[in-house]
Amino acid sequence: NKQVIFRDYVVGFPKESDFIITSVTIRLKLPQGSNGVLLKTLYLSCDPFMRMLMDSQPSAFSYFPGSLLFGYGVGKVLESAHSDFNEGDLVWGMLKWEEYSVVEDPANFIKIHHTDVPLSYYTGILGMPGITAYFGFHDICSPKKGEYVFVSAASGAVGQLVGQLAKLMGCYVVGSAGSKEKIELLKNKFGFDEVFNYKEEHDLNAALKRCFPEGIDIYFENVGGKTLDAVLLNMRPHGRIAVCGMISQYNLNQSEGVHNLMHLVLQRIRMEGFSAPDYFHLNANFLEAMLPYIREGKISYVEDTVHGLESGPAALIGLFSGRNIGKQVVAISTE
């Protein structure tokens, strides 16, 4: 059973050497007296929040040095002693980074019933990032047709969806990303109206003024820092900022200051953070909305897949240099 161990707390950017790949021999059987499930890992998800669990400040969810890494993933039940699960069930939820797991408390797993779409989608468009994009946009941003929407980290797991959902609402959508290839995807595959490569703009305020001469109604915040500061200067009255994440800050010892917060007052802007698990209980409504979009080709989804647990650490840390193009998935097994 191949596993990925978290070596020690991380300061600054995580490195491959912060993780150890090991292999242990196990019996593919639930232990005697278990009330849980034996799970085969199919796909693991690389998500930016995992960096926050690597910090040394103690939190209920932190990774502990020497323990197994965990994160969202898709698995298949090989054996079950739990009344809610049967052999063969497909689930997504928090999985350990190993090929096979005994999960004593599977109650938080979400069962997968729709398999006419790729199973890996339950790490992305139909999983936690999808729920983030869908409810973050519709619930927190209260979008209206014709509004001006800006999305940062726009080609990623969450951003590519927010942009397409905003287009389906009839909004004008601009996205920023960090490479030529990503910019082309935004424009040609996801249908963003306007795009810019933030790494090539020496003045983000000017770039936003160019793309939004009349200002921004909705900002879907994925990156924080200088981008947020520039956005604040360009918000329209009664604009909304959904604070999904601030990836530019996760590897800093101290967060950068934001200077233009007074614009929240001047423009009567609502800025609100949210967390995907708050919406997991609405999964059925979410699937009802999202599955037809996928089946009818109204939304497309780009994944970046690496294969095998040994490729996982590099893929995970690649999120922080923008190596991933689309949703970063680690495929462990296809059946």
Give the residues lining the site for ligand NDP (CB under 6 A): 47-49, 129, 132, 153, 155-159, 177-179, 182, 222-223, 244-248, 274-276, 319-320, 322, 324, 327
Q: Which is nearer to ligand NDP, 234 or 248 (CB)?
A: 248
Look-up: residue for tokens 């209920």?
Answer: 60
Q: Which is nearer to ligand NDP, 120 or 155 (CB)?
A: 155
Residue 217 belongs to what H/E stretch?
Answer: strand 216-221
Shortest distance in whole angstroms from residue 22 CB to ligand NDP: 27
Shortest distance in whole angstroms from residue 67 CB to ligand NDP: 22
Task: Give the nearest residue (CB) to ligand NDP.
Answer: 156
Shortest distance in whole angstroms from residue 279 CB to ligand NDP: 9
Q: Which is nearer to ligand NDP, 77 or 246 (CB)?
A: 246
Q: Which is nearer to ligand NDP, 1 or 62 (CB)?
A: 62
For the chain, counts of helices (H) and of strands (E) = 9, 15
Look-up: residue for tokens 């979410």?
Answer: 286
Give dist(CA 325, CA 131) in Å, integer.
20
Look-up: residue for tokens 């979008």?
Answer: 143
Shortest distance in whole angstroms from residue 299 CB to ligand NDP: 15
Give dist(CA 174, CA 191) in Å, integer.
10
Give dist(CA 324, CA 31) in Å, integer.
38
Shortest distance in whole angstroms from residue 149 CB to ligand NDP: 16
Q: Are 174 and 159 in contact (CB under 8 A)?
A: no
For the record, the structure tokens of 59 come out as 């939190």
Look-up: residue for tokens 């990156």?
Answer: 223
Q: Which is nearer to ligand NDP, 127 or 239 (CB)?
A: 127
